[in-house]
Amino acid sequence: MGGAVSAGEDNDELIDNLKEAQYIRTELVEQAFRAVDRADYYLEEFKDNAYKDLAWKHGNIHLSAPCIYSEVMEALDLQPGLSFLNLGSGTGYLSSMVGLILGPFGVNHGVELHSDVIEYAKQKLDFFIKTSDSFDKFEFCEPSFVTGNCLEISPDCTQYDRVYCGAGVQKEHEDYMKNLLKVGGILVMPLEEKLTKITRTGPSAWETKKILAVSFAPLIQPNHADSGKSRLVHLPPVAVRSLQDLARIAIRGTIKKIIHQEAMSKNGNGLKNPPRFKRRRVRRRRMETIVFLDKEVFASRISNPSDDNNNSEDIEDERQEEEETKPSELKPDPPVNFLREKVLSLPLPDPLKYYLLYYREK
């Protein structure tokens, strides 16, 4: 069966559809989804499916459906400076989007069982940092990944503000997951076939909310057959940034403010995203209550029956819109990386310019 929303032709259209279906509801989450192209986390031969609202799995590599990640991002209630732990971090797609919101003073850690997936995630992270213009539009909290079973995290590890688990959690492991949270923190995980949000309101107090019916593959239990001993997973240390790194963050922030002020004085409305070309109308389709996505299943939203009566009107409106936009529809100019241009124009030694740009290729 199909996904919860229509397939998009590109990343922006996929996000448009997720917004239309109310899976993406806040501006911060929308910005993060638009900034990280989902197709970049697919193997080249499977990229045709990247903008469908479907899960994807190839060997150990796995991506959940976009609507699932949308619900997770919204439920986590992310803010700059928080600490985040991603259990079953996979390709790093979710961790990268989270890192754009956490900013330079957040903490972004991931635990992944399969070492080959860790290598894949590191390659994708490196590609994002070196080539994506989104990197210069945000201050990024770079994720750090470690290999291991997330049920064997060292008991002396630090607690986190936000935790997500990307595999089905058995009831007997619920308390283990809760103990990874700071007071005031939020845990999102599939528990008893429901995507569940748990907020730690006190040392022994919790609030639980069921978000969505889902079906994830269960957590893999630790295997001690070889040595008989637990292989503790030691999470990355929370490092203090160097003065050099803090200076780079401050300088880049100052340059961004200058660019914004220059734009405001020039056109009076600041830096805004250039208007996108008018997209085709997204019509809500009548959906079945249960949607199967690879190993994931969830309750989809059901469109209003009256929507079906408007199909012919929508088709006619869409045809008119296409006719109106045809004469003026030209290929858009590539977006300008204002931060890069400003840094390169400064009277500074080249090594310092490249340092301020993180030695990025673009």
Q: Among all residues, which ones are annotated catalytic? A: 64
If we measure between CA atoms, which residue out of 231, 263, 285 comes closest to residue 342?
A: 263
Encoding tokens for residue 5? 């929303």
Q: Which helix H or strand E contains 252, and what residues bound it?
A: helix 243-267
Q: Residues 6 or more apart from 93 whose CB is under 8 A from it?
A: 36, 38, 41, 63, 69, 124
Q: Which long-range contacts link 314-322 to residues 24+ away (Cβ below 8 Å)?
A: 314/281, 314/283, 317/281, 318/280, 318/281, 321/278, 321/280, 321/281, 322/280
Question: Among candidates 251, 106, 98, which has minimal Cα distance to 166?
Answer: 98
Which residues does 315 contact at the CB level (< 8 Å), separation at least 6?
none
Chain center to CA of 319: 34
